[in-house]
Structure formats: C-alpha cells, structure tokens
Amino acid sequence: MLKGRPYIMPKKLILKIILFMLIAYTGYWLFNNFSTVGPEQLQHFMLSFGIIAPLVFILLFTIRPFVLFPASIMAMAGGLSFGPIIGPAVTYIGSLAGAALSFMVMRKLGHKIRAKKWQGRGEAIQRNIESNGFFYITALRIIPVVNFDFLSYLAALSRVKFSIYFKATMAGIIPGTFAFNFLGAAIVDLSPAMISITAGTFFIAFTIPVFIRKKMKQKNLDIDLLPDEQI
C-alpha cells in the first residue's frame, strides 16, 4: 500500500503566516508599551535609537493602525523628535504605509464582511466611496468626522480601487500631517517664528474643511457619517 505524499506548505502561505505573526507581535508590543503614553514619552523612546530613529518611527507608524493608537499623538511625536522638516516627512511616509497596509489586510481578510449587505448609513458610506472615491476619501481624510483607521477599513470593504484610495489618502493627510508635526516641534522650539508657523498651519488645516463641506453639499454627499447601525 502506497503512502500518501507528505504535505508541503506553500512558500507564499509560510510568508503570509510569518508576516501575520510579526504584525500581531509588534501590535501587541506597541499596545503594552505605548497605549497610555504621550508625545514626550514617545520622543524619548524614538531618540534612543539614534541614527536609525526615523526608520523605526516609520515602522511603528506603519503598524500603528492595528493597535488603534492615535495618529495625532504619533504625528506630534514626529515633530518633537525630528523637528519641522524631517518630522513631517517621516510622518507622511509612515502614515501612508500604515493606511496602505491596513487597507490591504482588511481587503484580504474581509471577504465575509464585504459579502454582507450594508444597511442605513453604512450603505450610504459604501455608495459614496464607490461613486465618488477620490473626492470622498480625500474629504474624509481632511474633515475629522470618521476615525482615520476606520475609514481605511471602510474603503477596503468597498469596491473602490486601491490606487484611488491611496492617491486620495496622499492628498487628504497633508494638512493634518503638517499641523500636528509643527505643533510637536513648537513644544521644543518656542520661538515666535515657530509659533507663528504652527498657528498659520492650524488655521489653514481648519479652514480647508469649511470649503470641503460646501463642496460635499453641492455633490449631495452625506457629511454626518458616523453610523448608527451595524455595518
């Protein structure tokens, strides 16, 4: 009697398992060590890595969505740690990487949720994302009515293309990235120039949503987006 051939796990599956375990462990470590810290504690931690601190910061920002750590605190920590020039750059890269990774993971794992028919406001969000993808996602990145990571997951569960989602995120996170980084940098540099730049950046960041809201009303897009029903 012939024995069956031993099962050999595909290399792609092995890599996926390793990647998942790495993300899960990093997320668990981040949650245990940083779930209750503020920007200053993060600054001290980041600077302890010396010359590779920017790379570590980008990595942590990439994993951040999986522990739901506030993006605003991370952005302020970027300004505190790296100043008003490098800070926005590493925050922007890390934020984009995290948004892309969370989208891809949810799209890969969310088959059953996508197959379920959405109802109420959830259905309206899905419809608006799919019919006005670039503008809608850009608007919601700028107007803070939906949690950053929640929006990534909602987009992944819709039929919007990744390229549209990514380009919209690239555009939509610019105001907040500069505003919170400059705020963090201003904590260290209290010069009149830095304070003026920070105030001006926040003024712009708060003014843009006013025009975005008017544009959304013109397009008959729902602004009150926090769903009452289960999605």
Q: Could you tell me the residue ranges of all domains in the chain?
A: 39-218
What pLDDT score does 1 carry? Answer: 47
**Which ranges of the chain have pLDDT less than 50?**
1-2, 225-231
What pLDDT score does 11 carry? Answer: 61
What pLDDT score does 39 carry? Answer: 64
What pLDDT score does 215 carry? Answer: 74
What pLDDT score does 170 carry? Answer: 95
What pLDDT score does 207 carry? Answer: 79
What pLDDT score does 193 carry? Answer: 79
What pLDDT score does 46 carry? Answer: 80
Q: How far apart are CA 135 and CA 158, in angstroms?
A: 15
What pLDDT score does 5 carry? Answer: 55
> Is 198 in contact with 183 (CB distance < 8 Å)?
yes
> Model-level pTM greater than 0.85?
no
What pLDDT score does 140 carry? Answer: 86
What pLDDT score does 92 carry? Answer: 95
What pLDDT score does 14 carry? Answer: 64
Q: Which residue has the tokens 């939509």?
A: 172
Q: Of the candidates 58, 96, 64, which has an alpha carbon nearest to the alpha carbon of residue 173?
A: 96
C-beta atoms surrounding 209 within 10 Å: 16
